[in-house]
Structure 1
Amino acid sequence: MKKQFAILVAFIIIMTNVVGCLEPKEAVAARVDPKTLSELGWTQAGDVQKDSLEMEWSVKLTINLAKLSYKDAELESRINQETQISDITSTLMTVRLALPVSLDFLAKKLIDRAFGLMETQLMSTVQGTGVSNFHRIGDTTFQNLHGETVKALVYDGTLEYEGGSIAVKGALAIWSSDGSIVATAGLVPYEDITYTTEIGGEQVTKTLVQIDGDSEFDELIILMQNVA
């Protein structure tokens, strides 16, 4: 079956190349609905980043992609006001991969490849922020804007900072959309931010910022639902 699929892909690529349709397509960023962003207190973080990658499948495919990041501005503001800790808030990244051949069956086959690629990138990015023991713990589902049921992989880990640590929870979801693949990945703090110090020979823990972890994670999934 794999051999037959590889031959079919190669045939399609050869035919589209003959008619000049195999050039990499421009990738347009996958964006969260602005109204949903505003209602939840999130904002866009930075500009769209463009990149490309190559995937081997009988022949080499060049795929353009566009990345866009979002953050929970309200939570970030509360944390900055109450602590000296920086770079802790809920975040979401969207990635659109523009396929050079707009075929649904090809997109579905590439989703498995994309899951592996994005999971590796998510792990690398999260570890770079100081999160440890980040691992998959299960999955959940949601309906995207096309009414399709999408599976999201769920992760958790621990972020350490001076004077304490905090549990974090993440999610990764990927689906095909109009000749492209859309990937969304996010990370949220999942418990209160506390600070532990020694007073009179005893360890004393103080809550600096209260965080409703379930609510933050629910917001993350809602944002993923509203990506187009």
Structure 2
Amino acid sequence: MKIIILILLIITIGAVFSGCLETKEAEPAFVNQATINTLGWEQSGDVQKDSLTQQVGDMDIVINTAIVSYYDKALLDDINNQFGDHLGMSVSSTNPQDQNMFSSQFLTKRLALPGGISIPESVLLGTVDNLIQEMAQENGIKNFNESGEETVIISTGSKVKARSYEGYIEGDSDQNTRLKVRGIIASWTGDGTTTIVIGVIPAQDIIYGTRTQTDSPAESTIEIDEDKEYQEILTLIKNVE
């Protein structure tokens, strides 16, 4: 809430000096389609557009947003094949719940503020931190803490910092397992808009308890290449348009 209030204050001050409170439409931040095709990813659902209106004094301040979501279909198909081979089960590439649980995710969010005002970096970092913690809570990710960062060159030629987070998701109670997950987040401003991107990947193999034909306990391992998924997220960030 403090971050939202600070953003509104910055917008109000900026609007007073610029004399303009009009907010342009937030254009979706798509990933280059050739990159999506090469990596085997797909867009998940339609673009989500929204407008947030806040009254500050006698002024109505509008913040427009556009969100695009993607998932790693190639990984989901691979996991599906492994489930079939080891467990005689399948996961659905069209089911959003299976996409979230068994595949890597990538989301872009573009914000347009009144008069093309940019969010200062310190405020933007606070906004991003709030966003990623909300996302972790919504997806049941626990102990989601920052673990490192690296520099990425995006499509405009600018350098941005991609910060990594690590946490875990608890499996079914009868399995008593924890699945390590990793998040990568970056943000930048340009052309009067702010862009935030978030990637989340499964960061370890999935181990399931099974039974043999003689009803003895056994384990089946669904293999996941963490480094490959991480590098793909960085590639997606580099190719956001």
| Fold conserved between structures, TM > 0.5 | yes
In structure 2, the CA distance between the partners of 1:176 and 1:205, relative to structure 1 (3 Å rule), is same
Give 2:74's aligned amino acid.
E
CA contact (8 A) 1:196 1:203 kept: yes
Q: What residue in structure 2 maps to residue 3 of structure 1?
A: none
Q: What residue in structure 2 maps to residue 184 of structure 1?
A: 197
CA contact (8 A) 2:11 2:113 kept: no
Task: Give aligned pairs, total.
Answer: 215
In structure 2, the CA distance between the partners of 1:186 and 1:57, relative to structure 1 (3 Å rule), is farther
| CA distance, structure 2, for counterparts of residue 53 and residue 147 of structure 1 | 31
In structure 2, the CA distance between the partners of 1:126 and 1:81, relative to structure 1 (3 Å rule), is farther
Q: Give the TM-score, by structure 1 length.
A: 0.82
Q: Give the TM-score, by structure 2 length.
A: 0.78
Structure 1 stretches of 5 or more lacking a match? 1-5
- The within-5 A match list for 1:73-222 is 73-83=73-83, 84=89, 86=98, 87-102=101-116, 106-107=117-118, 109=120, 111-162=121-172, 163=175, 164-196=177-209, 204-207=218-221, 209-222=222-235
1:14 partnered with 2:16: yes
CA contact (8 A) 2:25 2:64 kept: yes
| CA distance, structure 2, for counterparts of residue 220 and residue 95 of structure 1 | 15
SS at match of 1:107: coil
Q: What residue in structure 2 maps to residue 224 of structure 1?
A: 237
In structure 2, the CA distance between the partners of 1:8 and 1:213, relative to structure 1 (3 Å rule), is closer
Structure 2 stretches of 5 or more lacking a match? 1-7, 84-88, 92-97
CA contact (8 A) 1:165 1:194 kept: no
Give 2:179's aligned amino acid.
I
In structure 2, the CA distance between the partners of 1:118 and 1:51, relative to structure 1 (3 Å rule), is farther
SS at match of 2:115: coil
In structure 2, the CA distance between the partners of 1:11 and 1:79, relative to structure 1 (3 Å rule), is closer
1:135 Cα deviation after fit: 1.1
Q: What residue in structure 2 maps to residue 25 of structure 1?
A: 24
The percent of aligned pairs where both chains have the same amino acid is: 33
In structure 2, the CA distance between the partners of 1:10 and 1:71, relative to structure 1 (3 Å rule), is closer
| CA distance, structure 2, for counterparts of residue 175 and residue 7 of structure 1 | 20
| CA distance, structure 2, for counterparts of residue 143 and residue 11 of structure 1 | 32
In structure 2, the CA distance between the partners of 1:180 and 1:165, relative to structure 1 (3 Å rule), is same
Give 2:32's aligned amino acid.
D
Higher strand share: 1
1:55 Cα deviation after fit: 7.7
